[in-house]
Amino acid sequence: MSFYDAVVPAYLQMLNSVTGLLTKAEAHCAARKIDPSVLLGSRLFPDMLPLSRQIQLVSDFAAKGCARLTHSEVPTTPDTETSFAELKQRLARTIDYVKSFKPEQFEGAEVRDVTFPAGPDKSITMKGQQFFSSFSLPNFYFHAATAHGILRHNGVEIGKRDFMGTN
């Protein structure tokens, strides 16, 4: 299996499933006459990030992960989304961005140095395989799972199959 085949499909599967989660959350709010901003601002615990930020980070880890692994320009996206529609648009743009990568861009990426920020004044360098499996993918799944947990905790009727998606 190529490194591309390990990276891109994993990101795309979850980006699509998180989009589906947001569709169900939006329908949940409409059916129960809940102000969407309440759900978008929900957290699992007061010191955790809200749902909207979890979705933004899912998007960021996928896009920036692919960019860093291929030594492409790392995209910057302002975190300005305040609605389900805007978050789904962000996910759609991220899906298109991840789909734009070609297998040849990932050739040798597993052994390339990947440097990324680890705070305001610090950076870390790892080989591509370690970056992907020890940093980018775990963070990506953490924020996707946390988004799922926030929605489930707030009564959105979703389960494991929704989280896994169909991609």
Q: DSSP assignment of 104-165, as one string?
A: GGGTTGGGSEEEEESSTT-EEEEEHHHHIIIIIHHHHHHHHHHHHHHHHHTT----HHHHH-
Least confident of 21-30, 33-42, 85-94, 118-127: 118-127
The reported pTM is 0.96
Length of the chain: 167
Contact indicator for 95, 15 with CB cutoff of 8 Å = yes
Per-residue pLDDT reduced to its tens digit, 51-104: 999 999 999 999 999 999 999 999 999 999 999 999 999 999 999 999 999 999
- Distance CA(70)–CA(103), nearest Å, equals 10
- Residue for token pair 């975190």: 79
Nearest to 79 by CA among 61, 44, 41, 53: 53
pLDDT exceeds cutoff 70 at 167: no
- Domains parsed from the chain with CATH numbers: 3-164 (1.20.120.450)
- The predicted pLDDT at position 66 comes to 98
